[in-house]
Amino acid sequence: MRIRRMAVRGQAVVVLVILFSLLYPAPAAHASWLDRIKDIYQLPSNVEQIQKDYEATKQQLEEQKDKLSEAVKQSQEIQDRLLSQNEALKKDNEQLQERLKAMEQVALDKDKRNRKITYMVITTAALVVGYFLLGRVFRFFVWQRRKRGMR
C-alpha cells in the first residue's frame, strides 16, 4: 500500500511537471550572429542620436544656467536697492524722531511758561486784592479807634 501511494504521488508529480511545461511560455529564441552584426552597424546611428540628445540637453542646461544667473543678478540688484531704501528710510525715521522730541520739548516748555505766567497773574491779582482789603481793614480799624476816642 505504501508503495502504491508513492507511485500515485510520483505519477501526479510527473503529470504536474508536464502540465507546467506545456503552460509555461517558451523562452525567446536567441539572435543569430548575423543579427548581432546588424546591431553593431546600427550602433553608430544610435550613438549619434544619443549624442544629439546629449547636446540638446547640454544646451538647455546652459540656457537655464544663464537664466538662473540673470535671475540671481536681478534679485541681487533688487536686494541692494531695497537695502539702500531701507537705510534712507531709517535716516528719515531718525530725523522725524528727533523732530518729534524737539516738538514735544517745545510743548512742555510752553506749558511750563504758561503755568508760570498763570501763577504770576494769580499772585499779582491776589496781592492787589490783598492790598485793597488790607487798606480797607486798616481804615476800618482807624475809623473804629477814632470813634472810640471821640466818645
Where does the chain have alpha helices with state H?
2-23, 33-150
Does any domain span residue 31?
A: no
* Residue 118 domain-assigned (yes or no): yes
Which residue bears the cell 531704501? 85
In a domain, residue 16? The reply is yes
Q: Which three cell numbers stand for residue 19?
A: 502540465
Q: How many structural domains compose the chain?
A: 1
What are the phi and psi torsion angles at 32 (to 5°)? -80, 175
> Cα separation of 147 and 129, whole Å?
26
Is pLDDT of 26 > 60?
Answer: no
Q: Which of the pair, 146 or 70, is modelled with greater confidence?
A: 70
> pLDDT tens digits, residue range 115-149?
999 999 999 999 999 999 999 999 998 888 888 77
Residue 13 in 3-state DSSP?
Answer: helix
Q: What is the pLDDT of residue 93?
A: 97
Residue 33 has a pLDDT of 61
* 38 within a domain of the structure (yes/no): no
Domain limits for position 96: 2-25+55-150
Rg (the chain; Cα; Å): 59
Phi, psi (rounded to 5 degrees) for 136 = -65, -45
Q: Any idea which residue has 504536474 for its cell?
A: 16
What's the pLDDT at 12?
A: 75
* Alpha carbon distance, N-terminus to C-terminus of the chain: 176
C-alpha cell at 27: 523562452
Q: How large a percentage of the chain has pLDDT more than 70?
A: 75
Question: What is the pTM for the complete model shown?
Answer: 0.43
